[in-house]
């Protein structure tokens, strides 16, 4: 029961993240709002894919759920923390929210919460 609630919370948070970064990704695609570029790939696209993988990792009976979760979560939390540090040191700027707070702050909190919930979830599911 508790494992199902945690799974649902992870799905909700990942969907929230996917929706948020989806808007940024689309705005970048149509040249309205740029997002930082990593190599040749916009960071918002990497984060979008990461939240998508986190969502997919929550499918029931998925044998590779841990690997899929990590392939999604590690880039998301890493880029969010790089964005937060960049904002604090004024070396990088994340797209601002409607209220002026950099969106990487929201992504950092969201991905941290997802990571903590997944850790708890794995204890109930015995994920390998």
Domain limits, the chain: 2-125
pLDDT at 113: 97
Place of tokens 């044998």: 63
Angle between helices 103-125 and 2-29 (to 10 degrees): 150
Q: How confident is residue 128, by pLDDT bands cut at 50, 70 and 90?
A: very low
The H or E element spanning position 90 is none
Per-residue pLDDT of 50-90, as tens digits, reads 999 999 999 888 788 889 999 999 999 999 999 999 999 99
Per-residue pLDDT of 88-126, as tens digits, reads 999 988 888 889 898 889 999 999 999 999 998 887 765
The H or E element spanning position 40 is none
Per-residue pLDDT of 5-48, as tens digits, reads 999 999 999 999 999 888 888 888 888 767 888 888 888 899 99
Contacts of 111 (CB under 8 A, 6+ apart): 17, 73, 76, 77, 80
Q: Which of 21, 42, 20 is nearest to 31 (CA)?
A: 42
């Amino acid at each position: 029961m508790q494992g199902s609630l945690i799974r649902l919370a992870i799905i909700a948070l990942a969907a929230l993240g996917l929706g948020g970064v989806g808007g940024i990704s689309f705005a970048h695609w149509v040249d309205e709002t740029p997002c930082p570029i990593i190599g040749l790939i916009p960071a918002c696209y990497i984060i979008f894919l990461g939240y998508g993988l986190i969502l997919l990792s929550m499918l029931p009976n998925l044998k590779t759920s841990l690997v899929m979760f990590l392939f999604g979560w590690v880039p998301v939390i890493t880029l969010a923390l790089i964005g937060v540090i960049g904002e604090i040191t004024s070396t990088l700027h994340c797209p601002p929210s409607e209220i002026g707070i950099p969106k990487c702050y929201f992504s950092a909190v969201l991905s941290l919460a997802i990571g903590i919930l997944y850790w708890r979830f794995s204890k109930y599911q015995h994920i390998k």
